[in-house]
Amino acid sequence: MENFDLIIKYLNNEANAEEKKTFELWLAESNENQKQFDSLKQTWLLSNQSSKEIQNINIEAEWSKINAHLKDNTQGKIKSISNKTYSRKSFLQIAASIIILLSIGTVLLSRESQTSIIFAEKGILDQELPDGTSICLNKNASLEYTQEFNKNERFVKLQGDANFDVAHNPEKPFIIDAGNINIKVLGTSFMVHAPKNSKYREVIVEKGKVEVKSKNKDGSENKVILVKGQKVIFDVETNSVRRAAIDQNYNAWRTKIFRFVDAPMHLVARRLSQAYHHEIIIPNQKTMNCPITVEGNKESFEVIIDRIEENYNREILFKKKSDRYEIHGSCR
């Protein structure tokens, strides 16, 4: 996508989901970014006025003038603007807004040209990074990296669920910022569970070795080394880190194949939420540890929960509440 085109699409409500994600990530980075955009938006709205003069504008000539001005004043950081999709009225808005953009700098525009964001909008997405690392993102997960990636280190930001098969390079450590935890590896295969609003972060190592770091509320640092077959859970609310046994269904979000044997309900709910992208709440604390035995083989979410309810004689029920599910009931 072109640099200025992203802003114009956003203001015109024409940006797709990935473009909105790119823009909103920048917007959330700082109050300064928000202030800059507020100024731009105000100018955009004020310039959205009808005028008889619009019909007299030589659009092609004016685009040429603007693009020449951008080239002279941004040292090539901002690419030329496409004039193929904008009306005469939109042109007036863009022209007015460029004055503001040039005065506040090119933070977003430079970012757009220097930052890559991989967003699994429609479903599970397999991708290869510039260093040869293979990633698999769950639906709605995103991975962000800059042009500095693979120079001295390989730094990425993750939201959501992802499997990594990291290309081995001892001289350039691979570092993942997963919100509350940082994961450092040299070359290995592992899974990270780090949804934005989840209570937990998980790291599960399939091969190799990783270092997981987090900070306590007092500022001190936790550091855990994991090797093949090990798992660590970070509790967002308590800032605590603990080791845990790996359950065989940790990768079910990719396979949709489940086999739970006396697994606690909270773990079953978490895995189902990862795989089917439904928020699942367990209001009753006692229900959270109910032992659940159920199997699934690529069936729908509705089939799986019906199977659980049937196995427990409808004493455990999944109730749909608006855009989420609540689990009610008691153990046998």
For the chain (332 residues), the mean pLDDT of every run of 10, in chain order, is 55 75 74 63 51 44 53 46 47 49 40 71 89 93 89 92 93 92 89 86 93 83 90 88 89 93 93 92 89 94 94 90 88 68
Residue 70 burial by CB count (10 A; 0-12/13-18/19+): exposed, middle or buried?
A: buried
Identify the pLDDT of residue 8: 62
- Rounded (10°) CA dihedral 40, 45, 46, 52: 130
End-to-end Cα separation, the chain, in angstroms = 56
Classify 23 as helix, strand or coil. Answer: helix
Q: How far is CA 190 from CA 47, 163, 184, 211, in A?
A: 51, 6, 11, 12
Identify the pLDDT of residue 83: 45
Identify the pLDDT of residue 191: 94
pTM exceeding 0.95: no
Domains of the chain: 3-114 (no CATH), 120-244 (2.60.120.1440), 252-329 (3.55.50.30)
Query: Rounded to whole angstroms, how far apart are CA atoms 169 and 187?
Result: 6
Classify 295 as helix, strand or coil. Answer: strand
DSSP-assigned letters across all residues of 201-233: EEEEEEESEEEEEEE-TTS-EEEEEEETT-EEE
Find out whether 194 and 174 touch, Cβ atoms under 8 Å: no
- Beta-bridged to residue 235, according to DSSP, are 200, 240
Helix residue ranges per DSSP H, the chain: 3-11, 17-27, 31-46, 59-73, 88-104, 107-114, 252-255, 265-276, 285-288, 301-311
The residue type of 272 is L
Classify 266 as helix, strand or coil. Answer: helix
For 305, phi then psi, to 5°, come to -70, -30
